[in-house]
Structure formats: C-alpha cells, structure tokens
Structure 1
Amino acid sequence: MINPHYDIDSGYHDGDLVEQDARAWLGVWKSIDDVPHRRRLQQCAHDLDADKAWSEFCEEYGEDWTESTRKYQYGKAWREWTTYCEQHGVQRLCPDPSDIEDHLVEQRSEAASDSTLHQTRFRPLCRLFEYLRYSTAYPHQYNPTIMAVLFGGAAHAAWRDRISTRLPESY
C-alpha cells in the first residue's frame, strides 16, 4: 500500500537503486540546488576549524578504530582531501558536492577497485560529514558526499559498492 501522503512527483523513486538509496539517506534536500542559500555550507566556511573538527570526529567516532584504520584508511583519506582542497581552493568542511565528485574522480585512478575507493576515500569523508550533520557544534544540515552520488560518477560507484550486498544479483 502506498502512503496516501506520498508525493508521486517527488522523484524519490527515479533513477537506479543506488540513486534511490542515496536519496533516502539525504532527507529533504536531494541536491545543492534544493538547499536554501542561507543553509549552504559555503555560508559558514570562515567560522570553521577543519583540523579541530577532524580531531573531534576521530576522537568521538573512531574510538574503536585500530591504529592501521586510523592512519592508513581515515588518516590517508583526510590528507588526500586536504591536499585536494588546498590545490582547488575548497574549504575542507564546506565543499560543494561537485568538489567531492571531482576529488573522488582523481582518487579513483589510484584505487585498485570501486571497493577500495569506497573504503579508503569515500567512506571516511561520508562519515565525517554525517558526524558534522548530527553534531550540534557544527552548522551542517546536509551531506555533500551523498549528494555527489547523484552525479552518477565516482561517488555513485563508491555508494554502489556500499550497498552491493543488498542489490539483486541481476543488478
């Protein structure tokens, strides 16, 4: 039975299963164009200390990480993201989804597979932005990493790997 309040024109079920799953995670705002201008991350870029936020994320979220995970998976992802942001003039905590996609496209050439891209580049950034989104200490109200999935490129491939165990074999 379809929920009587379901908006058929919402586009929620458009696209492939990967896009549908990403839309479900995104909540109200499915693209940067949906986000009111005053709520966009670029509006608060000058107020945020990225290194402090990263440290807090690692301290709170990563208490169970092994030293290897901290250093080679999450740490490497943060260093690569920092380098990308410095080279492209992006504030590390306030990227546009297209910045995330462009970064992942660059990183994809170094990754052995989409699974590696997901585990070592996409997942650390996605979890960081989810942490920021739910933290009352930060103004984040959306996750640009998940928005990047809807571009259909490298982020889409990484998210597809994430949900691959739940996809039908024929997909």
Structure 2
Amino acid sequence: MPRELSEDPKDRLGVYKRLEEVPSRYRLNQHAAAYRDKDVWETFLEDHLFPQYSSDRYRQDTCRAGQLWKEHMADRGRHHALATPADVDQWCKSLLDRRNVRTVYNHYWVRLERFYSWLLARTDHPHVYQPFLMAAVEYDTAGRIWDAKVSSR
C-alpha cells in the first residue's frame, strides 16, 4: 500500500525549507540571463501538461493562469520560471482579492505548483527548490491556499 503524503508542505520540500537556506549560487535569480526571452511555461504546456489533459476548458483555464502569472512576474521584474516564495504569496494575495480560496487553488495554484514541480524534476533546468511549497510554509496567504488543497483530499 502506498504511503500517504504528509499534509504539511514542509515535509514535501527537499533539503531547503526556506529561501534563506538555499545557497546564493543555487537561487533561481542567478539564472535570469539564461532564461531571458525563453517561454518555459509554453514548453511545459506543450511537452508535458496538454498531452495529459486535452479538454478545451482545461486548456483555457491553464492558459489564463499562466498569463496572469507571467504578468505578475513581469511586474515584479522576474522571469516566470524564477519565482521566490514572496512572489508566490503576493500573487496569491492579488488573486484572493477577486476570487475565493477554492477557485484560486483549483484554477491557479495547482497549475503553477505543477509547473514548478516539473522544473524541479528536470535536469535541463537549475531548480533545486519549490517556491510554491516554500510560500505555503512561510506565508499565511499561500498557506491558506495550501490548506484548501489538503482539505479537498
């Protein structure tokens, strides 16, 4: 029987539980030049996500989530694949200003969390930590969305 995942996001993180614990040479901001003009989100959609989920509605919702994320990250002066936990939390706050927690989780968080997990699992990307999980550990707003995730199981 498979072991059930912990509901505590800290238990799902690897070695680094907080951004401050990540050595500066491994932080995502060190890779800004390599990501300039690369649309990693589109690669994720075409190579990974859309082959698994083909409904038009799912694709539309996912594209909308990605577009809002890209705009948010551009406003913060960072590439969409190089977020900090603070970027994630601020995005969650802005989404919750206009939507309920369940909508934010189901239509936005889940897609971007999956994107960062995909980056983390790939050897062609330098990701060694998951900013969405770190945000859930460190910040109240992101933590509320995480709680919506685990309460829906």
- TM-score tier (shorter): 0.7 to 0.9
Tell me the equivalent position of 1:30. 17
Q: Give 5+ residue unaligned stretches, structure 1.
A: 1-16, 167-171
Deviation, 1:151, is 2.5
Deviation, 1:122, is 1.1
Matched, 1:71 2:64: no
- Cα RMSD of the aligned pairs, angstroms, is 1.7
Matched, 1:98 2:94: no
110, 118, 126: which is aligned to 2:98? 110
Paired residue type of 2:78:
V
Deviation, 1:50, is 6.7
Structure 1 residues 86 and 75: alpha-carbon distance in aligned structure 2, compared to 1, 3 A threshold: same
Structure 1 residues 161 and 98: alpha-carbon distance in aligned structure 2, compared to 1, 3 A threshold: same
Task: Find the aligned partners of 1:51 and 1:78 in 2 and give their Cα distance.
Answer: 14
| Identity in percent | 25
Task: Find the aligned partners of 1:85 and 1:152 in 2 and give their Cα distance.
Answer: 18
Aligned residues: 146
Tell me the equivalent position of 1:88. 76
Tell me the equivalent position of 2:137. 150
Residue pair 1:114, 1:157 contacting (<8 A) in 2 also: yes
Paired residue type of 1:40:
R
Deviation, 1:52, is 3.3
Q: TM-score, normalised by structure 2?
A: 0.87
Look up the SS of the partner of 2:52 in the other structure.
coil
**Structure ID, larger Rg:** 1
Task: Find the aligned partners of 1:51 and 1:118 in 2 and give their Cα distance.
Answer: 26
